[in-house]
Amino acid sequence: MFIKERTDLNEVNVTTDVHTDVAVPAEKHAALGTIATILSTNRPISADELRDNLIAREDESSTGFGNGVAIPHAKVNGLTEPFVGVVTFKQPVAWDSLDGQPVSIAIVLVMPDQNGADKLHLKMLSKLARKLMDDDFIKALKDAQHDGSQMTKVLDRVL
């Protein structure tokens, strides 16, 4: 399922793409490659660059936040506006998460690689990380993981 909605984060348009029940490889680097291919479709960005940047960031430290959720993030050349891609997996992926649990929901932040994007990147990441410590928010994410429309509504509370 593919849904696009536009939300505002301090006057910046952020596109949210939601893809539910996606078959991805069981290994996180390979899963990030599949995610990059999906999220780069119909965008002026290279799937290879997005994959490489997601993997490079992942190799710095795991983006597996816990409770079955990862927040991979990357900057990409050629992008003019940030977007958030949500990909839920048919089968959980081993992710080296903080709690040791596999990931079934990836909330991917993709930012332009240009001046001024760092502040927005950190603000979005911080806001999302705070929400991911809220048990009610985690429950809402998990309840929506097979329903793209519902997932978009859940994320609209954050973005």
Interhelix angle 148-156/135-144, nearest 10 degrees: 160
How does DSSP classify residue 27? Answer: B
- 3-state per-residue secondary structure call for 94-152: ECCCCCCCCEEEEEEEEEECCCCHHHHHHHHHHHHHHHCCCHHHHHHHHHHCCCHHHHH
Catalytic residue among 29, 73, 121, 146: 73
Count of positions (residues) in the chain: 159
**For residues 1 and 147, what is the distance between their CA atoms, to the nearest angstrom?**
8
* Under 8 Å between Cβ of 88 and 145: yes
Radius of gyration (C-alpha) of the chain in whole angstroms? 14
Q: Is 121 an annotated catalytic residue?
A: no
Q: Which residues carry out catalysis?
A: 73
